[in-house]
């Protein structure tokens, strides 16, 4: 992977926005500002969508950026779960298992990587990208009064994507960033 001098690159700043937004999301949720929360969350999802694209477009792909993005994902998923519990306690209580799947899909792969490699992994697989996009869409459907099934499907996708990341960690002898899938990792062997 190409090393980029300096850490204050445009993609890393986009990723950093998600860290900076987490206290704002928490504050908005705690005070019951659901629409403002969903608006700021949309900006977080947009920054997550753009950071990798901008990194590749500008040639600023880095190990640091990949790791920063993974940490931002964990912070955001935990923040979203807590905020959803505060803003929509009835939905959260009824669908706690699926919220649990989503949180587990973020925490367990990170924990597995830390146990095996002593560091955070940053695979950014296609499955994780698809699951994150599905969850982003599903949360808006759910919290704006739509059906439950998109959220449940997205939570299962998150769990499957997290399982793939755990398998990658168990398979690899050292951590590698930006792997497309378990199949690609197996093909490399």
- Predicted local distance difference test score (pLDDT) of residue 1: 47
Band (pLDDT 50/70/90 cuts) for residue 178 is confident
Q: Are 99 and 106 in contact (CB under 8 A)?
A: no
Do residues 52 and 15 make contact, with C-beta atoms less than 8 angstroms apart? no
How far is 96 from 112, CA to CA, in rounded Å? 23
Could you tell me the pLDDT band of residue 5, with boundaries at 50, 70 and 90?
Answer: low
pLDDT in tens, 87-108: 999 999 999 999 999 999 999 9
Total residue count of the chain as it appears in this document: 189
What SS3 state is found at 101? helix
pLDDT band at 3 (very low <50, low <70, confident <90, very high): very low
| Residue 4 scores a pLDDT above 70 | no
Gap between the Cα atoms of 75 and 83, Å rounded: 12
């Amino acid at each position: 992977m190409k090393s980029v001098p300096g850490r204050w690159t445009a993609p890393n700043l986009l990723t950093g926005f998600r860290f900076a937004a987490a206290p704002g999301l928490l504050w908005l949720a705690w005070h019951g500002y659901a629409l403002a929360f969903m608006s700021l969350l949309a900006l977080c999802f947009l920054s997550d969508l753009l950071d990798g694209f901008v990194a590749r477009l500008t040639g600023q792909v880095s190990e640091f950026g990949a790791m920063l993005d993974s940490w931002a994902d964990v912070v955001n998923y935990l923040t979203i779960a807590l905020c959803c519990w505060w803003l929509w306690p009835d939905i959260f209580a009824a669908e706690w298992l699926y919220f649990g799947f989503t949180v587990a899909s973020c925490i367990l792969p990170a924990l597995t990587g830390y146990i095996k490699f002593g560091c955070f992994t940053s695979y950014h697989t296609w499955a994780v990208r698809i699951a994150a996009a599905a969850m982003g869409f599903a949360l808006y459907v759910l919290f704006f009064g739509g059906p439950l099934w998109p959220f449940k499907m997205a939570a299962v996708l998150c769990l499957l994507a997290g399982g793939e990341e755990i398998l990658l960690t168990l398979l690899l002898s050292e951590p590698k960033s930006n792997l497309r899938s378990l199949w690609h990792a197996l093909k490399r062997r």
